[in-house]
Amino acid sequence: MKELVKKLTETYGPSGFEGQVRALITAEVQGVADEVRTDGIGNLFVLKKGRDSRHRALVAAHMDEIGVMVTHIDKDGFARFTRIGGVRPLGLPGARVVFASGIAGSIGLEKLEDRTKIPDLDKMFIDVGAKDKESCPVKVGDAATFWQPFVAQHGRWIAKAFDDRIGCAVLIEALRTMPKPAYDTYFVFTAQEEVGVRGATVAAFGVEPDYAIAVDVTTTGDTPESHPMAVGLGKGPAIKVMDRGMIVHQGLKNWMIRTAEEVGAPYQLEVLEFGSTDAMAMQTTKEGIPAGVLSIPTRHVHSPSEMVDEGDVQNSVKLLAALLSRPVSLE
């Protein structure tokens, strides 16, 4: 699984530009899916037929990652930019980025009058080494992502874009290893989550599942002076209770907890005060869909170097496969 995660995290795919990630996942699921298709927004649907085709389950992980987009090239060939998704300005100066073409650049910073304040994006630029505007190899509208290699050490993995390529990896591995699911199960790799859960909105509308689960990252409270939170690395996946965008269906949450206990998968309970997931959109589709979230604890979310625990990832696969292999209970 480590090699799969490496390939996924090192692949270029900001919101709206998920094509390379979609192609990689399509290749990875060949031979284990009953149907593979895409829709108009760029979602990838991978269907695994179940024992009871009268019912449908949807499990989602988003393909896109945060990034930046060029808004202007100045006369000296430096690219000004805006953010795609929740990019944090504090982590940008000095970061290396890469465009779809393979062109790399580093983010520079103008001289600051007050070095005690976090700089605004309008004080930053991307330097691709161009001599002037005419020779600049990128143009307005080009998108870039962080450029960082995958690293594995001491049972922990470090990479960019674990949000949410690690969720994509969990879906792929569950699809490969699980027995026949209880219901027809749609593994949906969604587009444009980071800019408004757009892919999940249309995916749930089309599938009309009996229930839906998003697999995504969550932050932790186990680093120095972090915001208090009862989630940490190495303690198992987290079963969400609530976040800023949703309160999880109580019956579905309780079923997820019972399943984890029955199969011996360690788990944590998650209350996230900031942010949300694809489940927020799926929950409010049409007449409403019972929705839950399986979260992978992740340090340094939305930075160039996010961190997860290998055991948490493996237990996420174990729990997801167990959930999809049994009929749902919403009591």
pLDDT of residue 182: 98
Whether 217 and 164 have beta carbons less than 8 Å apart is answered as yes
> Which residue among 18, 65, 173, 193 is the active-site one?
193
The CATH number that domain 67-146 falls under is 2.40.30.40
Mean pLDDT of 254-262: 98
With 0-12 / 13-18 / 19 or more C-beta atoms within 10 angstroms meaning exposed / middle / buried, residue 120 is exposed
Check if 193 is active-site: yes
Matching CATH topology for 2-65+160-324 and 67-146?
no
Q: Residue 226: what pLDDT? A: 85
Q: Does residue 114 have a pLDDT over 80?
A: no
CB burial readout 41-59, b (16+ within 10 A) else e:
bbbbbbbbebeeeebbbbb
Residue 170 has pLDDT above 80, yes or no: yes
Quick: pLDDT tens for 54-82: 999 999 999 999 999 999 999 999 999 99
In this prediction the pTM is 0.96
Whether the predicted pLDDT of 115 surpasses 80? no
Q: How many CB atoms lie within 10 A of CB 318?
A: 22
- Rounded alpha-carbon distances, angstroms, from residue 64 to 41, 110, 170, 200, 312: 12, 29, 15, 12, 22
Give the model's pLDDT for residue 143.
99
Helix ranges restricted to H, the chain: 2-10, 19-28, 162-177, 198-207, 250-263, 278-283, 310-324
Q: How far apart are CA 109 and CA 285, in angstroms?
A: 43
Full DSSP string of 102-115: S-EEEEEEPPPS-T
Sorted by sequence, the CB contacts under 8 Å of residue 209 that are 6+ apart come out as 56, 57, 58, 186, 282, 289
Average pLDDT, whole number, for the chain? 97
Residue 279: HSE in the Cβ half-sphere, 13 Å Cα cutoff: 31
pLDDT digits (tens, 9 = 90+) for 18-29: 999 999 999 999
Residue appearing with tokens 């930053």: 124
* Calpha distance 233→242 (Å, rounded): 19
- pLDDT tens-digit readout, 140-169: 999 999 999 999 999 999 999 999 999 999
What pLDDT is stored for residue 301 in this prediction? 96
Domain ranges of the chain: 2-65+160-324, 67-146
- Report yes or no: 232 and 316 within 8 Å, Cβ to Cβ: no
User: Which superfamily does 2-65+160-324 belong to?
Assistant: Zn peptidases (3.40.630.10)
Contact predicate 230/199, CB 8 Å: no
State the Rg of the chain over Cα: 20
